[in-house]
A and B are shown apart, each in its own frame.
Chain A
């Protein structure tokens, strides 16, 4: 039972490069989320999805894009990497809204130089 899987675990990008952070879950969860965690801070919501084909912005969406073509996958795209996007990125999923805790992947540590 893999749960939520994120790839890659680490990545270094140059300013202006683009990349996609992958996230897949095998729990048939409807809801999926992307968070970023900066040093000494809590997790901040970037984007979320309540089901395939439906996405919405969170607290800090600027500089990112997402898509949700399947229930399992929720990739996060950085189009023009900036140093301010250096962070640890966590993907999470949950079955339904309400009394259902979110399950997290192990994160992608991204450095923009």
Chain B
């Protein structure tokens, strides 16, 4: 039972354009969502997060949007840069019931073309 889904295994975007990565979840108890970025042979690196009390969080070129009614979140990267090429994982936790345990999606591989 995949509670966090990233239905696009890959995405290719031209440098300077917007990258939009999507994530859907099924567990209505999730109240904290994170995006991690992963380069080959390295561990995931925290990128940005959002609490369920918000619908948007912005950090520089990265913005995460949360639509609770649709159980959907997205990560926008604008403008995209070649260094953004990596695998992006969406993760969620139900802090009230499960503490800090994260449930991860399967990842989306982003390629930014120069």
Could you tell me which A residues sit within 8 Å of B by CB distance? Answer: 4, 31, 33, 35, 40-45, 48, 50, 58, 90, 92, 94, 97-107
Contact = CB atoms under 8 A, between A and B. Distances in A.
Contacts of A105: 43
B32 interface: yes
A92 to B, nearest CB: 8
User: B interface, how many residues as a size bin?
Assistant: 20 to 34
Interface of B: 4, 9, 32, 34, 36, 41-46, 49, 51, 89, 91, 95, 99-107
Tell which of B99, B100, B107 has the most Cβ of chain A within 10 Å: B100
A76 B45 CA distance: 21
A42 B104 contact: yes
A99 B34 CA distance: 10
Nearest to A6: B43
Contacts of B51: 99
Nearest to A58: B101
Given A40-B106, A94-B100, A103 B46 contact: yes
A-B pairs, top 8 by smallest CB distance, nearest first, are A104-B43, A42-B104, A101-B46, A97-B100, A43-B104, A42-B106, A97-B99, A106-B43
